[in-house]
A and B are shown apart, each in its own frame.
Chain A
Amino acid sequence: MAVSGFEGFEKRLELHFFGDDPKNVGLGLRLLDFESLDEDVLQAVQCTVVSAVANHYFDAYVLSESSLFVYPTKIIIKTCGTTQLLKSVAPLLRHASSLGLTLTSCRYTRGNFIFPGAQPFPHDTFQNEVVYLEDSLPHSLCYRKASVMPSKIPLALVARVLRFHRSDVVSLQRGPGDGKSGDTAGKEMTEITGIGEINPGALICDFAFDPCGYSMNGIDGDRHSTIHVTPEDGFSYASFECVGHEVWTRVAGALEPLGMKCRSCALDEFPAAGNVAYQTFTARRK
């Protein structure tokens, strides 16, 4: 009889590929036409594109539920709420194969859901997620590992990810019926919060949802960053992800003065896939 609210915790899927002709991968996954991406992949997951931007290295999409990044041989999808992210694996592999690309590694991670009972199959249990994912992957992937990390953070991630909770994300709340578009309100929030200054060299694609919720993707050369905030009272959630340590430490440094305290740090090693670090920040006790 628990009251269910919006699930902020994202599920995150990262797939890496190599080309049949590795020297000539070129645009790779970026050649996937938008209709296929939208109708086969995003519809299976149950989300849509709200805004997007690209540079010479990759495509970045802000989704109705988080973000999607498409690199020539890598795809990253993050979705929150009750989306069914793992349903995207099969159509993605099918499309990649039609482009002459073969899967080399797959990483699926998520945090502990705030409202686990609201999640549909296969996300209803960790066990079901593992089985569903294993069934979706080709048998050629030999190193397999599923793990539950300490500090209530199941599974792991390759990029450095920072997670923090705040109940007073006031500046990220839109005024009721403010009449602004999601693009305009998003831009304002990027400015007010100082998110635009985390990496001044990055181009930001942002969006503010009605009545609340903020998403941004940053593109800086071949590196992406992404921030998602769901500021609902009582179950607020925010996440930050980026590639590269320099930017990450700057965000961590920016959080402590806001009253955030690093509560836990978890590190896990994945064969042939590098290390994964998770840090959890909570509001400092008054």
Chain B
Amino acid sequence: MAAEEGQVVSVHTVDAWNEQLQKGNDTKKLMVVDFTASWCGPCRFIAPFLSELAKKLPNVIFLKVDVDELKSVAQDWAVEAMPTFMFVKEGKIVDKVVGAKKDELQQTVAKHVATASA
């Protein structure tokens, strides 16, 4: 079991980002990317909830991207509000949750985990 499983992995460089995307492609696992910012209060509100979710779902890859640190990625992915959660499967965005919304986040994860194992 990789050390990263069950955790929200912070991605600090574009190289690391590409590497994670590749890993998502190879393993065909669901990826949940949290676009966050250090100055965003709502992001701090949802962070503990996201960590709990990651703990419960070791088969889902949880990533955290700081929009100031990886500006180009945030721009490419058209992130305008924080937090934005992108759901990625095999390189494709399959869903998106904008805002710190616990129920919606949990339900969207459940929806895609269900289709992945079906």
Q: Which residues of A contact B (CB under 8 A)?
A: 27, 30-34, 37-38, 49, 51-55, 59-61, 70, 181-184, 203, 205, 219
Q: List 26 A-B contacts (CB under 8 A).
A: A27-B39, A30-B39, A30-B40, A31-B39, A32-B41, A33-B44, A34-B41, A51-B102, A52-B41, A52-B45, A52-B99, A53-B42, A53-B99, A53-B100, A54-B40, A54-B41, A54-B43, A54-B81, A55-B81, A59-B41, A61-B45, A181-B103, A183-B101, A183-B104, A184-B104, A205-B99
Residue of A nearest to B41 (CB): A59
Are the CB atoms of B100 and A51 closer together than 8 Å? yes
Cβ 8 A contact of A203, one of B81, B103, B104, B107 = B81
CB of B82 within 8 Å of the partner chain: yes
Minimum CB–CB distance from B48 to chain A (whole Å) comes to: 9
Minimum CB–CB distance from B42 to chain A (whole Å) comes to: 3
Minimum CB–CB distance from A57 to chain B (whole Å) comes to: 10
CB of B37 within 8 Å of the partner chain: yes
CB of B98 within 8 Å of the partner chain: yes
CB of B4 within 8 Å of the partner chain: no
Are the CB atoms of B107 and A54 closer together than 8 Å? no
Task: Knowing A51-B100, A51-B101, say if A61 contacts B42 (CB, 8 Å).
Answer: yes
B19: chain A residues within 8 A (beta carbon) = none
CB of B80 within 8 Å of the partner chain: yes
Minimum CB–CB distance from B52 to chain A (whole Å) comes to: 16
A184: chain B residues within 8 A (beta carbon) = 103-104, 107
Interface size on B, residues (CB 8 A): 21
Minimum CB–CB distance from A286 to chain B (whole Å) comes to: 40
| Interface-central residue, A31, A55, A59, by most chain B CB under 10 Å | A59
Are the CB atoms of A54 and B80 closer together than 8 Å? no
Are the CB atoms of A52 and B100 closer together than 8 Å? yes
B104: chain A residues within 8 A (beta carbon) = 181, 183-184
Are the CB atoms of A183 and B103 closer together than 8 Å? yes
Are the CB atoms of B103 and A182 closer together than 8 Å? yes
B100: chain A residues within 8 A (beta carbon) = 49, 51-53
B103: chain A residues within 8 A (beta carbon) = 181-184
A34: chain B residues within 8 A (beta carbon) = 41, 44-45
Are the CB atoms of B98 and A203 closer together than 8 Å? yes
Please encode chain B, from 94 to 112, with 1 for each CB lying within 8 Å of some chain A CB and 0 for all others.
0000111111100100000
B41: chain A residues within 8 A (beta carbon) = 30, 32, 34, 37, 52, 54, 59, 61, 70
B42: chain A residues within 8 A (beta carbon) = 52-54, 59-61
Interface contacts beyond A54-B42, A181-B104: sample of 7 additional A-B pairs, CB < 8 Å, sorted by A? A34-B41, A49-B45, A54-B41, A54-B81, A183-B107, A203-B80, A203-B98
CA distance A61 to B99 in the complex (A): 10
CA distance A183 to B107 in the complex (A): 10
CA distance A38 to B104 in the complex (A): 21
Minimum CB–CB distance from B108 to chain A (whole Å) comes to: 10
A59: chain B residues within 8 A (beta carbon) = 40-42
Residue of B nearest to A27 (CB): B39
B40: chain A residues within 8 A (beta carbon) = 30, 54, 59
CA distance A53 to B42 in the complex (A): 6
B45: chain A residues within 8 A (beta carbon) = 34, 38, 49, 52, 61
B101: chain A residues within 8 A (beta carbon) = 51, 183, 205
B98: chain A residues within 8 A (beta carbon) = 53, 203, 205
In B10-54, which residues have CB < 8 Å from any A CB?
Answer: 37, 39-46
